[in-house]
Amino acid sequence: MNIQELIQRVRNKLSRKDDLSIEAVHGFLRVLEQVREDELSCVEIHQKLDEYVELEIKKEDAAHIMPLIREHLDLCPGCCEEYEALLDVVENSDQN
Ligand SMILES: [Zn+2]
């Protein structure tokens, strides 16, 4: 996908009503960047989070084995919270 071409297309669409402001272009670029970095959706993360937590519990290098999950957790406060809660539950149940 050519991002510049995409922006041009969006700009052409919008220019019929208003000129697309620089701010709007930058906002759009930020969204694209976010999408590119964040390859997995939150739903996919939630499905794999137990697997990730399991690796951590086993003292495996979870961040190395599942780097996309680690990356998402760094970017997404919601999933990070979910992960910490899950880790907490698993760690506590281990002690019983
Ligand atoms: Zn997320």
In order along its 96 residues, the chain shows pLDDT tens digits of: 677 777 777 777 766 655 667 787 778 777 766 655 546 889 999 999 999 999 999 999 999 999 999 999 999 999 999 999 999 988 888 655
Write out the E strands in the chain: none
Helices and strands per DSSP (H, E), number in the chain: 6, 0
Surrounding ion ligand 1 within 5 Å at CB are: 42, 76, 79
56-70 burial: b if 16+ Cβ within 10 Å, else e: beeeeebeeebeebb
Closest C-alpha to 84, from 76, 39, 43, 61: 76
CA distance 37 to 59: 27
Contact 90, 57 (CB under 8 A): yes
Q: How close is the Cα of 73 to the center of ligand 1, in Å?
A: 7
CA of 75 to the centre of ligand 1 (A): 8
